[in-house]
Chains A and B, each alone.
Chain A
Amino acid sequence: MSVLVYIDHTDGEIKKSSLEAASYGAQLASQLGVAAHGLVLGTLNADLSALGKQGLQKVHQVKNDSLNQFDPGQQAVMVAEAVTSLAATVVVVSNNVTGKALGPRLSARLKAGLVAGAVALPDTSNSFVVKKAVFSGKAFAQVAVSSPIKIIALTPNAFSVSNGDGSAEVADINLTVPAAKIKVTGTNKIKGQIPLSEAELVVSGGRGLKGPENWGMIEELADLLGAATACSRPVADSHWRPHHEHVGQTGGAVAPNLYFAVGISGAIQHLAGVNRSKVIVVINKDPEAPFFKAADYGIVGDAFEVMPKIIDSVKKLKGK
């Protein structure tokens, strides 16, 4: 018996969200008293034995370049085969862009109950119950999984990466590679930008910033902190910022360690996407802005006066 962690990778590196999934999978395996395995489909530069630091005992790899182009249908067949050959009873994936496509396919293929968006380890005392965020972060549900095989898609940034000193055994695994039905014809990555879903720090701007020409201070602060940038919906709708930066109930959901909101009112639909952030800072000139009710720290003031001073003070802190 084992817990099998699907290791997702991009540009030759393991994604941080998969290191979280590996740490989660390994802790779950020790909770259940079974082995913790990893599965890598495709080729990468990273040293896979280092996944031992997250607690995996063995990492199985199908070294095949064509698998670097993601087709969830093809991969679900392969992961399902690995589940059988490794006698896995739980599969852990990250609920990132890959896991959101792979998890449900795998669930339907194996008739294995899926908890998409888990935020904590399961309660396995007498059944198998996993906590997940629902109502766009406004509540949590305890989801009981009744099938013999269980699939958990772990929310990015919800579980910390463990860093022990283990080393995993790395071995090739022989799995049938079905033909891909999805052809990737182009990739457009915004260079040097931190993906919002993986970011530990997020600096976000709203309509209070008046126009796209004023985003310099948001970008500068984000740069200094190593943060990703985000925005409210009207900002993306007015094309001041690209669509992928839109967070909230109808945009992306984020749960960083720090969400730094500037000139955002904190409408309920905005809060829905950001309220699982660990620390929320709000800069708003209106003391009645609803965002202050959801914030940990705040400044009631004009962003155009406050932000330059904050940037200077962060520069000092960072020795720049």
Chain B
Amino acid sequence: MKILVCISKTPDTTAKIAFTDNNTKFATEGVQWIINPYDEWYALVRAIELKEKDPTTVLHLVNVGGAENDAIIRKALALGGDEAIRVNIESQDSFTIASQIAQVAKDGGYDLVFTGKETIDYNGSSIGGMVAELLDWPYVSLATKLDIEGSNAKLTREIEGGEETVEASLPLVVSAQKGMAEQRIPNMKGIMGARTKPLKVVEPVAVEALTSIAGFELPPAKAGVKLVPADNPEELVRLLHEEAKVI
């Protein structure tokens, strides 16, 4: 089996969110970058587990972006995976990214394309579904479990107020979330090994973006907390009922 895991680079979860160029660009000075947690903790780790179960599995990583992404790609390779592919183009919108990944998936003859449920910066939740449509493969989103038996996949996916078990044949696209796997810390051997794993750079296919970001804004600041004394919690209930009118 051949698995392709999509790896996105996102600002660290504690990064200060600010904008430059008249609020059209994210201010990257001083920002630490990480592998998007959903890609790393859930999709990548589950893919590694599948390879540990069946060592004949081929596991590749894909990222769309410039050379500045290589450090993050090596970090992902330190966790696992045989090689990585970087499509050399500045990411524009979800559709252009998905189009590049779909091309890599087609060229590489993969059976499974695996993504995190969304990135923690753009929160689009879109790449998996778009890749699936471009390849005409089935798509199971928001999955919390994935097992492969031969050419059949058994999954659990989230529904409102519960979950559903589903089955689909490979090839397949899956987006993963909490429950799929547990976070791993790379060991020294992994980190050393990652340096020599192949990181192939491929040129992009031509696609036009469908959306663009016209600007960013920060949410309005909160007015400040109204504190109620601990010996009079009844007052809180009154305020929520009469002032905030939420209960």
* Least Cβ–Cβ distance between B212 and chain A, in angstroms: 5
Complex Cα distance A137/B125, Å? 14
We find that the number of chain B residues with CB closer than 8 angstroms to chain A is 82
Residues 208-236 of B contacting A (Cβ, < 8 Å): 209-219, 222-223, 225-230, 233-234, 236
Q: Are A225 and B237 in contact (CB under 8 A)?
A: no
Report if B179 contacts A (CB, 8 A): yes
Interface size range on A against B: 35 or more
Q: What per-residue 1/0 map shows which CB atoms of B164-197 lie under 8 Å from chain A?
A: 1111110000000011000000000000000000
Q: Is the interface of B mostly helix, strand, loop or mixed?
A: mixed
Q: Quick one: which of B98, B121, B169, B241 has the most chain A CB within 10 A?
A: B121
* Least Cβ–Cβ distance between B42 and chain A, in angstroms: 9
Q: Are B247 and A225 in contact (CB under 8 A)?
A: yes
* Least Cβ–Cβ distance between A131 and chain B, in angstroms: 8
Of the candidate stretches A40-48, A58-66, A139-147, A166-174, the one touching chain B is: A139-147
Q: Are A114 and B236 in contact (CB under 8 A)?
A: no
Report if B69 contacts A (CB, 8 A): no
* Least Cβ–Cβ distance between B131 and chain A, in angstroms: 8
Given contacts A136-B123, A281-B240, contact A190 B162 (CB under 8 A): yes
Report if A56 contacts B (CB, 8 A): no
Q: Are B211 and A144 in contact (CB under 8 A)?
A: yes
Complex Cα distance A190/B160, Å? 10
Of the candidate stretches B57-65, B75-83, B103-111, B132-140, the one touching chain A is: B132-140
Among B94, B129, B132, B246, point to the contact of A201 (Cβ < 8 A).
B246
Q: Are A139 and B17 in contact (CB under 8 A)?
A: yes
Report if A177 contacts B (CB, 8 A): no
Task: List residues of chain A with CB within 8 A of the CB of B117.
Answer: 100
Task: List residues of chain B with CB within 8 A of the CB of A181.
Answer: 138, 168-169
Task: List residues of chain A with CB within 8 A of the CB of B133.
Answer: 73, 76, 104-109
* Least Cβ–Cβ distance between B223 and chain A, in angstroms: 8
Q: Are A142 and B129 in contact (CB under 8 A)?
A: no
Task: List residues of chain A with CB within 8 A of the CB of B223.
Answer: 296
Q: Are B121 and A279 in contact (CB under 8 A)?
A: no
Residues of A within 8 A of B (CB): 10, 15, 71-73, 76, 95-97, 100-109, 111-117, 129, 132-147, 181-190, 193-195, 197-198, 201, 225, 236, 243-244, 246, 249-251, 253, 257-258, 268-269, 272, 275-276, 278-279, 281-282, 292-302, 305-306, 309-310, 313-314, 317
Of all A-B residue pairs in the complex, the 10 with the closest CB atoms, nearest first, are: A104-B129, A301-B230, A113-B210, A189-B162, A195-B161, A108-B133, A181-B138, A195-B160, A104-B126, A101-B141
14 additional contacts (CB under 8 A) given A97-B158, A195-B160: A100-B117, A100-B129, A104-B124, A105-B132, A108-B129, A114-B94, A115-B211, A143-B213, A187-B163, A189-B161, A246-B178, A279-B246, A301-B233, A317-B237
A–B Cβ pairs within 8 angstroms, 18 of them: A97-B157, A97-B158, A105-B130, A108-B134, A114-B94, A116-B123, A142-B217, A147-B210, A190-B161, A190-B162, A243-B144, A279-B244, A279-B246, A296-B223, A299-B229, A299-B236, A300-B227, A317-B247
